[in-house]
Structure 1
Amino acid sequence: MARVVVVGGGFGGLASAARLAKLGHEVTLVEASDGLGGALGTVSEGDYSWDAAATSTVLPAVIRDLFRKSGRPAERELELVALDVVREHRFEDHTSVRLPGGTRGAQLAAFDELGPGLGQAWVDHVASYADDWEVLRRGYFEVPWDRDRLPREVAARLNSRETLHKRLRRAFRDDRLVLVAGHPFVEAGHDLRNVPAWAGLQAYLEQRFDAWTVVGGMSALAIALEARLATRKVTVLRSTPALDLVVREGRVAAVRTAMGELAADVVVVAIDPRRLPTLAPYVARTMPALPPVVSHLGLDGDVPDVPHELVLHGDPMLVVRPGGTTPEGGTAWTVHGRGRLAEDLLRALARHGLDVRDHVVVRVDRSPRELVEAWGGSPLGVLWQGRSTVQRRLGPDTPVPGVYAAGAHATPGGGLPFVGLSASLVAQAVGPA
């Protein structure tokens, strides 16, 4: 039995702690704030509350596997619901498309309504990622990987110079399809010229596996995992910032916190490694993908009906996500802004025909800096800076013996599926007690 200290109580830390405790290790989780969940938490003001960040996920099998491998099945703890429409895209020429998930035929029909022949162009593009997914799933996403001994097919993709920008321009003559395919990365703050082409398989995952949400909000996932840690007898230390790792005789020996040292045989770093001086030099050439400008709106009265996620393309690009807890007759929206934000988000919304300025009851605004400070880092992980970004990340292992990395900074990108997979990789690398 190893003494394991998990640093960080976001999804990556919670998932890592649950898995390692089930494998028989003695696990302590330290979290700098007074609550767990990180970006899976909620924001509240008055009688309104909103999901702090993510409102849906793809690859529900990642969540199901986590719960099954750490105790009771997810179905006994959570209610996962597939979305009929992943998101709606509205373009500057006043056309729009609603993107269904989980079915090739429905997506083909939706894009054909946007323009003749566009449906076939879209489904052909999505299908082009089938081999990428299978190769990377088997040799990169689902198994700990050795940077120096990558399988040939995996290395061919990770080392490819092809960018997502080039792949989309080659696949589509219609710029609107480029916007749809590139949207998840642009919203996360990436330049498509710096994103590897294979990363575009997000569109394949949405088509094949659908997008899912959790009844009660994504915070229900954090609450269920917190209960799972209690069941697995994980020691949880809140309001305990990790200051650095303690290395003795070339191996990790403890985590230094504001409350003293915690002895450890194994440490899992589920926060931005730049925050720990021992690891910071190894990731000095990476940068975080910063969150967007966010405005949580509590509305009343008759407001426009919008789907689960509405993308308003332009500069700035606006994303509207309804959902949350409201008083009777109320509506909760969260609005994200990316690009040249030269005016208030509500005024920008009004220019798109969504004028809710007279319906605002409460409003909570957060800048990217405020979000990073609140979460102790960016839940969007590492900024894509070309193909070398894969090699510059840490995780699941690190150059320090006994130290592993999980979370958004240890994956091929942010988002719950990849964060969940990072925790699985750590559990495999550490192994059973």
Structure 2
Amino acid sequence: MARVVVVGGGYGGLASAARLAKLGHEVTLLEATDTLGGALGTESEAGYTWDAAATATLLPAVIRDLFRKSGRPVERELDLVPLDVIREHRFVDGTSVRLPGGTRGAQLAAFDELGPGLGQAWVDHVASFADDWEVLRRGYFEVPWDRDRLPKQVAARLHSRETLHKRLRRAFRDDRLALVAGHPFVAAGHDLRNVPAWAGLHAYLEQRFDAWTITGGMARLAAALEARLATRGVTVLRLTRALDLVVREGRVAAVGTELGEVAADVVVVAIDPRRLPALAPYVERTMPAIPPVVAHLGLDGDVPDVPHELVLHGDPMLVVRHGGTAPPGGTAWTVHGRGRLAEDLLRALARHRLDVREHVVARVDRSPRQLVDEWGGSPLGVLWQGRATVHQRLGPDTPIPGVYTAGAHATPGAGLPYVGLSAALVAQAVGPA
């Protein structure tokens, strides 16, 4: 049995702790704040509650595997619900498309409504990632990988110079389809000219596996995992900030905190590694992906009906998410803004004929800096700066023996699926007690 210390109580830390405890290790989780969940938390004001960050997830099998490998099946804990429409895209020319998930035929029909022949162009593009998914799933996403001994097919993709920007320009004559395909990366703060082409398989995952939400909000996932840690006997130390790793005789021996050292045989770093001086030199060539400007709105009265997620393309690009909880007669929206934000988000919304300024009864604004400070790092992980980014980030292992990384900064993309997979990789690398 190893003494395992997990640094960070966000989704990556919770998932890692649950898996390692089930494998028989003695696990202690350190969280700098007084609450667990990180970006899976909520914001509340005047009777309204909003998901702080993610409102949906791809690859529900990752969550199902986490709960099955750490105890009871997820169906006994949470209600995972597929979305009929993943998001609606509205373009500057006044046209729009609603993107369904989970079926090739529905997507083909949706894009054909946008223009003749566009459906086939879209499904052909999505199908082009099928081999990428299978190769990377078997040799990169689901198994701990050795940077110096990559399988030939995995290396061919990770080392390719092709960018997503180039692939989309080659695949689509209609810029609107390129906007839809590139949106998940632009929304996460990336420049498509720096994103490797294989990362575009996000569209393949949406079509094949759909997008899913959790009844009651994504914070239910964090609460269920917190309960799972208690069941598995994990020691949770809140308000305990990790200052650095303690390395003795070339191997990690403890985590230094404001309250003293916590002895460890294995450490899982589930926060931005830049925050720990022992790891910072190894990631000095990477940058975090910066969150958007966020406004959580509590609305009353008759407001426009919007889908789960609405993307308003342009500069700035606005994303409206419908969800959360509200008092009777109320509606909860969250608005994200990226680009040239020279005006208030509500004024920018009004220019898209979504004027809800007279309906606002509660509002919580968060700047990118506030979000990073609140969560101890960016939930969007590492900024893509070209193909080398794969090798410049850490995870699941690190150059320090006994130290592993999980969470957004240890994955090849933002979002709960990748974070969940990073925890699974750490559990494989550490192994059973």
In structure 1, the partner of 2:303 is 303
Report the secondary structure of 1:285's partner residue.
coil
Structure 1 residue matching 2:5: 3-state secondary structure? strand
Q: Distance in 1 between matches of 2:314 and 2:414?
A: 23
Residue 285 of structure 1 aligns with which residue? 285
1:414 CA displacement? 1.2
Q: Which residue of 2 aligns with 1:216?
A: 216
Corresponding residue for residue 43 of structure 1: 43
Output aligned runs, 1:147-226, within 5 Å: 147-226=147-226
TM-score with structure 1 setting the length: 1.00
Amino acid at match of 2:119: G
Residue 410 of structure 2: aligned partner: 410
SS state of the match for residue 29, structure 2?
Answer: strand
SS in structure 2 of the partner of residue 110 of structure 1? helix
Instruction: State how 1:56-205 maps to structure 2 within 5 Å.
Output: 56-205=56-205
CA distance in structure 2 between the aligned counterparts of 1:134 and 1:244, rounded to whole angstroms: 38
Aligned partner letter, 1:3: R
Instruction: Tell me the SS of whatever aligns to 2:86.
Output: strand
Deviation at 1:76, TM superposition (A): 0.3
CA distance, structure 1, for counterparts of residue 187 and residue 25 of structure 2 = 38
Q: Distance in 1 between matches of 2:37 and 2:205?
A: 25
1:325 & 1:100 partners in 2: Cα distance? 24
Name the structure 2 match of 1:26: 26
Does the residue aligned with 2:112 lie in a helix, a strand or coil? helix
Match of 2:428 in 1: 428
Aligned residues between the structures: 433
CA distance in 2, matches of 1:260, 1:43: 32
Distance in 2 separating the partners of 1:5 and 1:267: 5
Q: What is the identity, as a one-letter code, of the residue corresponding to 1:187?
A: A
Structure 1 CA distance, aligned partners of 2:402 and 2:46? Answer: 45
TM-superposed deviation, 1:325? 1.2
Q: Write out per-residue CA displacement over residues 83-103 of structure 1, whole angstroms, 9 at most, x where no aligned residue.
A: 000000000000000000000
Question: Runs of 4 or more off by more than 4 Å in structure 1?
Answer: none
Deviation sequence 1:146-178 (CA, Å, 0-9, x none): 000000000000000000000000000000000
Separation in 2, partners of 1:311, 1:142: 31
Q: Secondary structure at 1:201's aligned position in 2?
A: helix
Residue of structure 1 in register with 2:318 after alignment: 318
Q: For 1:325 and 1:260, locate their aligned partners in 2 and report how far apart those are by CA, in whole Å.
A: 41
1:366 matched to which residue of 2? 366
Q: Pairwise mapping of residues 327-366 of structure 1 onto structure 2 (< 5 A)?
A: 327-366=327-366
Shift of 1:364: 0.4
TM-superposed deviation, 1:292: 0.0
Letter in 2 for 1:236: V
The alpha carbon displacement at 1:23 in A equals 0.1
In 1: Cα distance, 2:178 partner to 2:197 partner: 13
Shift of 1:393: 0.6
- Give the match's secondary structure for 2:278: coil
In the alignment, what sits opposite 2:246? Answer: 246
User: Structure 1: which amino acid aligns with 2:82?
Assistant: A
Deviation of 1:123 (Å):
0.0
Q: Which amino acid aligns with 2:4?
A: V
Amino acid paired to 1:416 = L
Q: Deviations over 1:91-148 (max 9, x none)?
A: 0000000000000000000000000000000000000000000000000000000000
Alpha-carbon distance, 1:413 to partner: 1.2
Q: CA deviation at 1:46?
A: 1.5
Q: 1:72 & 1:362 partners in 2: Cα distance?
A: 38
Unaligned runs of 5+ in 1: none
Distance 2:189 2:33 in 1: 26
CA distance in 1, matches of 2:363, 2:93: 30
* Equivalent residue letter for 1:54: A
CA distance in 2, matches of 1:334, 1:417: 22
Which residue is equivalent to 1:52?
52
Indicate the residue corresponding to 1:10 in structure 2. Answer: 10
2:384 maps to which residue?
A: 384
User: Which amino acid counterpart does residue 160 of structure 2 have in structure 1?
Assistant: S
Matched, 1:269 2:269: yes
Q: Aligned partners of 1:406 and 1:284: how far apart in 2?
A: 18
Any idea what the Cα deviations from partners look like across 1:360-419, whole Å, max 9, x if unmatched? 001000000000000000000000000000000100000000000000000001100000
C-alpha distance after superposition, 1:245-269 (max 9, x if no partner): 0000000000001111000000000
Aligned to 1:401: 401
User: What is the alpha-carbon root mean square deviation over aligned residues?
Assistant: 0.3
Rounded to whole Å, the distance in 1 between the matches of 2:262 and 2:202 is 39
Question: Partner letter of residue 208 of structure 2?
Answer: R
Q: Distance in 1 between matches of 2:46 and 2:94?
A: 36
Give the SS at the match of 1:81: strand
Distance 1:329 1:258 in 2: 47
Letter in 2 for 1:8: G
Offset, 1:57 = 0.3
Tell me how far apart the structure 2 counterparts of residues 8 and 154 of structure 1 sit (CA, whole Å): 30
Is the partner of 2:254 in helix, strand or coil?
strand
Deviation of the 1:55 alpha carbon: 0.2
TM-score (norm 2): 1.00
Amino acid aligned to 1:239: L
**In 1: Cα distance, 2:317 partner to 2:192 partner:** 15
